[in-house]
Structure 1
Amino acid sequence: MAPPLLHLDGIRLTFGGTPLLDGASLSAMPGERIALVGRNGSGKSTLLKIAAGFIEPQDGEVFRQPSATIRYLPQTPDMEGFDTVRAYVEAGLGPADDPHRVTYLLDHLGLTGEEHPSSLSGGEARRASLARVLAPRPDILLLDEPTNHLDLSTIEWLEEELARSPSAIVLISHDRRFLERVSRATVWLDRGRTLRLDKGFAHFEEWRDQVLEEEEREQHKLGRQIVREEHWLRYGVTARRKRNMRRLGELQAMRQDFRTHRRAEGLANMAASDAAESGKLVIEAKDIAKSYGERPIVRSFSTRINRGDRIGLVGANGAGKTTLLKLLTGELAPDTGTVRLGVNLEIATLDQKREAVDPRETLAHYLTDGRGETVIVNGEEKHVVSWMKDFLFKAEQARTPVRELSGGERARLILARVLSRPSNLLVLDEPTNDLDMETLDLLQELVASFAGTVILVSHDRDFLDRTVTSTVAPNGDGTWTEYAGGYTDMLAQRGGRKLDDRRAAARTAPAAKSVAEPRGQPRQPARKLSYKQKFALETLPKRMEEAVARIGVVEQQLADPGLYRRDPNAFADATALLDKARAELAAMEDEWLELEMLREEVEG
């Protein structure tokens, strides 16, 4: 049997108090796909950093095969010292790596490579760091939350890219669907120790529940055995003193095991503070439109949202989801059309930026707005510490500054504040970011059972499928369509056609370019189309369909996970052909869009 590429055993690390890692293990063989899962704060990222060599454990064995190349994706990339994204990505290549792969990855991740790192958004920075670790095709890929800040189409592309990768992969993610599709084994980090399941994440939760149930049974048996031994010591028939002392020692050891056993952390107890019932009509939008410059974000969109509806907004980054959300809730006025809000609305909002929080503010002060020691939940006073415990915070954290919280703890804190406010309309923009699986489960139950109305923006396909009653998706030209059901239902109604941010970007590129045209130089309206332009308008749709079909054939060929091992040259040829076909399709889409806009201008 071949030796592992990576092997960690008996890893111990503590930062004072309870050990963070207490005998943890992790091993990766060539080509393995491992999901590393656990609660927020359980030490997953720390274990991954130890595997990458960025942190030294206090005890334990760390083995990395000397010839193996390792690439680590951190949650927050450091791009300091690089003038362009391309320079940052190319710095991750080795001497024998293919530099053309950088262009391929940047193109598929929606970057030109000429961007300055300081100007990148969170999503763009995540795409750039992904390109850097994927470009060299390393032996081991260590990915910490690779889907954070990515839109749905990019997440689905990343799934396909990882499926084709020959690398061994260890990844941390809160995206269930992503883990199910990528992983083939699961390592559970719980209370400092690891347990391994040689099956993908789809089988993890059932297995975890069985492990916890067995643990509870063992603890119950130990407790009853202690009671029996104590009874024997007090009332049993006196035997030889030596034997009694031995049993007394065993009893003390059992007591110690029982006292020091680290029980599984409890679940959050999320509940929204209900307001009075709203009217049956919550929001009615008629033919609303919004543009920035000449770029249409929303075009002639109408919907009627009634009490109890749960609406999900999906789409690529920059498609306009947050703009549409603000239009529907009255925060932003439409250019044309009308939005009517129902009566008795009490709105609680969780925005994408998680609202400004003073990092010096304590948890208790933040939750109460500095007004005493209580919060009002469903009309009743509740001590702030009790409310904190419902969201898995400890009593001693009441005076902890916000700056000391992890990303997941901070997300839970903001949810605790939002949900304490009386509401009958929940507006949630990316509510699942940074939440662990257990907290996601409870947020899902809260949204699904909320008595009022919910409008949410999310890239989490599993969360959408489990919560929303209808899904609103963009068509790429400012128009939006509402579909019954969740994300999977939406795809079925679109005939399996997925959301594609690259095509949306191609469609909006000319409009974005026109916004940047200097003032004082208005574009002169065209008087008529040439014969060549008319012919192109008629023939381009068919040519685009043929290009899509060719791309599908090549993508199916590349989906074969064994192609790279069998014939690296064929894999390289197919990849180059796919790049060329996609570039040709993008060029045709650009040409068609420009001609279509020209035709509308002439006819208008």
Structure 2
Amino acid sequence: MNYVTAENLTKSYGVKTLFKNITFNVNEGDKIAIVAKNGTGKSTLLKILMGKEIADSGNVIINKDIQVVLFDQEIDFEGELSIDEFMMTLSSAPIMALKNYHSALHSENPDDMENALAEMEIHKAWDLENEMANILSQLKITDLDAKMRTLSGGQIKRVALAKLLVETRAEHKHTLLIMDEPTNHLDVDMVEWLENYLGKARVTLLLVTHDRYFLDAVCNIIWEMEDHKMYFHNGAYDTYLENKMIREDNLNSTIDKANNLYRKELEWMRRQPKARTTKSKSRQDDFYETEKVAKMDTRKQSLELEFEMKRLGSKILELHKISKSYGDKLLLKDFSYQFQRGEKVGIIGKNGAGKSTLLNIIQGLEKYDSGEIETGETIKFGYFSQKGLKYKEDQRVIDFIKDISENFPIANGRTISASQFLRLFLFEDQTQYSPISKLSGGEKRRLHLMYVLYQNPNFLIFDEPTNDLDLPTLTVLENFLQQFQGTLIIVSHDRYFMDRIVEHCLAFEGEGKIKDFVGTFSEYREFDKKQVSEGKEVKIEKVIEPEKKEEPKPIEKKVEVASRKLSFKEKSELDKLTNEIPEFETKREELSKLLNNETDYDVISKLSDELQKLSDDLDEMELRWLELQE
């Protein structure tokens, strides 16, 4: 069943074209993710489908038998409504049946209850009431009498999400669910519950998300918006990346051929007299078409630069027995830690556990109750917070960055200009000279990120950096952080982002208790789930607990194994080695056979080097396997 058909849609704002002549279909059961840079029109396209925006040209045909439901980043609500009242503002028949039933509970007329019960049965509202209770519980919404105006931004987002999911289940007809960044402000447990819910639900879905694990778990189609066009990919995120790379390689090949032809035709054009025959006029037209292709700029700025940051001294940052409470709520209790040069630490835990409080304490933005902090003299903090960017409305993007410095230092005494640095983070020349007020929300977030990085800090602190950033920008940021040689702390619920950057986690587990876990975010999640399922604590890494000695002592990061048993991570390593060693041995035999049959000197040299490296790797793997076995 076809839900939506769009033909030749075009939308511009002033001189900026978002998309041009794009055509697509949404069919029943499709679960589609839209991927694009911020400012290219993702949210605008969703609003056009909802009828909240009008395209400059083209047609949108929506099947009259479906309902279209939008989960937007901007949520409208009446502040005086309670959560329960807000949930009941839906106009569907099952919701109306629920309202009448609750009203009949307080009625003295027995006919009201009889009619209400019949209505509940007709519209299957009992199932909906149970579904609503389950969704609210999973999204940690417990106080249904709380007024909407008293909720935090994250709580409002969760309540609106609950209402949306109830709405899609309330109507017994076909539904197209449109979601714009649904995982923002949700902790990992809620994100995993939502992806499981949407993955199993019989719903047609069109969403914008930066969460790549969520995208892979929920969606089976990716729409890519780039250069005013739309490209379609069936499959997971990796498939999209592969298709995109092939397309760009083919385009670059076409441009190279056009360049060769352009140079030849340019000589011909210069030799021609002003008066042209019909034949030369045709060739002239072909020349201009070739010129357009030859001058296409497909170069992708990369971050393969050696950055020159301020030198870090021997002392970075040391925390000794730090405690912090808010009333009866204990966030930190005798927490000690010594940060190292080049360390990339992920701070994880539920919302409200104290993660942001720790970041503020480290930077001196918030006082702690007791303990001591020693900060190295060479430390220069760079803090990317959730509060957003402060700027003058009429200030241009390029001027905002130049106010810090005209140039950014890189290795060997070299520099790159503010404009070049902006291009690295996907700000095109036209956008650089636009007022900041004209940027989309995601572009402002990207500029805020640049503002932090351009000040060249050597100790970066990121609090939920992935919220509202598009996937292309996240890829650029990940590449930057992987090369960053300073110290880095990240608070994030984005599992993919954390897994790429972080190999060491501090996990807030409540009541001031923090676990020091050596491993990725996903490895910690796996360990934590296993610990919960077994109903006991599996000793993997040292738990940072109150120190009993009077003298403060930095926590060591060595894994202490009780009774010489393997830790969870070591068991995983042993299993991995057990599987990989036979594969490496097979590869070594294959290389040896190739080497024995080869006569070309260059090939022999290359194969010999490969064989030597493979043998060295295999020796190390076997030694490690023996250590773990013992």
TM-score range with shorter-chain normalisation? 0.7 to 0.9
What is the alpha-carbon distance in structure 2 between the residues aligned to residue 311 and residue 330 of structure 1? 19
Once the two structures are overlaid, the 10-residue window that deviates more, 444-453 or 12-21, is 12-21
> Which residue does the alignment assign to 1:352?
386
Q: Does the 8 Å CA contact 1:6/1:29 hold for their aligned counterparts?
A: yes
- Cα gap change, 1:423/1:230 in structure 2, threshold over 3 Å: closer, same or farther? closer
Q: Deviations over 1:360-383 (max 9, x none)?
A: 4443443344x7x72554687765
Contact preservation (8 Å) 1:9, 1:24: yes
**Cα distance in structure 2, aligned partners of 1:253 and 1:355:** 43
1:129 pairs with 2:160: yes
Correspondence for 1:94: 92
Q: Does the 8 A contact of 1:273 with 1:423 survive in 2?
A: no
1:225 deviates by 3.4
Range with greater deviation from structure 2 (72-81 or 443-452)? 72-81
Q: How many angstroms apart in 1 are the aligned matches of 2:369 and 2:208?
A: 43
Question: Is structure 2 residue 179 aligned with structure 1 residue 143?
Answer: yes
Give, in whole Å, the separation in 1 of the partners of 2:461 and 2:156: 26
Question: Mapping of 1:253-332 within 5 angstroms?
Answer: 253-256=289-292, 263-264=297-298, 266-267=300-301, 269=303, 274-332=308-366
User: Aligned with 2:442: secondary structure?
Assistant: helix
AA of the residue aligned to 1:45:
S
Q: Does the 8 Å contact 2:255/2:293 carry over to 1?
A: no
Superposition pairs for residues 120-199 of structure 1, below 5 Å? 120-137=151-168, 139-199=175-235
Q: Is the 8 A contact 1:314 1:457 kept in 2?
A: yes
Rounded to whole Å, the distance in 2 between the matches of 1:38 and 1:177 is 17
Q: Distance in 2 between matches of 1:8 and 1:280?
A: 61
Q: Which residue of 2 aligns with 1:550?
A: none
Q: Which residue matches 2:74?
A: 76
CA contact (8 A) 1:377 1:420 kept: no
Name the structure 1 match of 2:54: 56
Distance 1:38 1:184 in 2: 17
Alpha-carbon contact 1:374-1:381 (below 8 Å) kept: no
CA RMSD of aligned residues (A): 2.9
C-alpha distance after superposition, 1:428-487 (max 9, x if no partner)? 111222222222112112222211111111111111111113111122333111211220
Residue in 1 that maps onto 2:137: 107
Does residue 490 of the first structure (1) align with residue 490 of the second (2)?
A: no
Tell whether the 8 Å contact from 1:367 to 1:375 is kept in structure 2 after alignment: no
CA offsets, 1:265-302, max 9 Å, x none?
A: 84465979744322334222233221100111122323
| Aligned-partner SS, 1:14 | strand
Q: In the TM superposition, what are the counterparts of 1:584-599 in structure 2 within 5 Å?
A: none
The residue type paired with residue 123 of structure 1 is: G
Q: After superposing the two structures, state which structure 1 stretch, 356-365 or 112-121, moved more.
A: 356-365
When residues 96 and 8 of structure 1 are mapped into structure 2, their CA distance, relative to the original with a 3 A threshold, is farther
2-structure distance, mates of 1:272, 1:407: 30
Q: Distance in 2 between matches of 1:465 and 1:30?
A: 34
Q: Which of 135, 140, 149 is residue 118 of structure 1 equivalent to?
A: 149
Please say if residues 36 and 472 of structure 2, whose CA atoms lie closer than 8 Å, have aligned partners that are also in contact: no
Q: Is the 8 A contact 2:408 2:421 kept in 1?
A: no
Specify the alignment match of 1:553 in structure 2: none
How many angstroms does 1:258 deviate by? 5.3
Give the 3-state SS of the residue equivalent to 1:181 in structure 2. helix
Secondary structure of the structure 2 residue equivalent to 1:299: strand
Q: Relative to structure 1, is the Cα distance of residues 167 and 93 closer, same or farther in structure 2, using a 3 angstrom cutoff?
A: farther
C-alpha contact (below 8 Å) 2:353/2:509 kept by paired residues: no
Q: Is the 8 A contact 2:8 2:58 kept in 1?
A: yes
How far did 1:74 drift? 1.0
Q: Partners of 2:48 and 2:202 in 1: how far apart?
A: 23
Find the residue that maps to 1:35 and give its secondary structure: strand
Conserved 8 A contact 2:303-2:480 = no
Give SS of 1:105's match: helix
Q: What residue in structure 2 maps to residue 456 of structure 1?
A: 490
Which amino acid is 1:430 matched to?
E
SS at match of 1:129: helix
The separation in 2 between residues aligned to 1:355 and 1:253, in whole angstroms, is 43
Structure 2 SS opposite 1:476: coil
Q: Structure 2 length as normaliser, TM-score? A: 0.71
The one-letter amino acid of 2:214's match is F
Is it true that 1:481 corresponds to 2:515 in the alignment? yes
- Cα distance in structure 1, aligned partners of 2:73 and 2:221: 22
303-312 or 130-139: bigger deviation: 130-139
Structure 2 segments unaligned to the other structure (5+ residues)? 96-124, 169-173, 534-630
Correspondence for 1:431 among 465, 482, 489:
465
How far does the alpha carbon of each residue in 1:80-110 deviate from its partner, in whole angstroms, 9 at most, with x for none? 4762233333323521454513333222212
Relative to 1, partners in 2 of residues 1:399 and 1:198: Cα closer, same or farther, differing over 3 Å? closer
Contact 2:79 2:147 in 1 (8 A): no
Identity fraction in percent: 27
1:564-588: CA deviations, max 9, x gaps? xxxxxxxxxxxxxxxxxxxxxxxxx
Counterpart secondary structure, 1:291: strand
Aligned partners of 2:465, 2:435: CA distance in 1, in Å? Answer: 22
* SS of structure 1 residue aligned to 2:13: coil
**Alpha-carbon offset, residue 496 of structure 1:** 4.0
**Alpha-carbon distance, 1:390 to partner:** 3.5
TM-score, normalised with respect to structure 1: 0.74
Which range moves more in the overlay, 403-412 or 82-91? 82-91
How far does the alpha carbon of each residue in 1:127-171 deviate from its partner, in whole angstroms, 9 at most, with x for none?
Answer: 122112211226111111111122222111111111122110111
From 393, 402, 405, the equivalent of 2:427 is 393
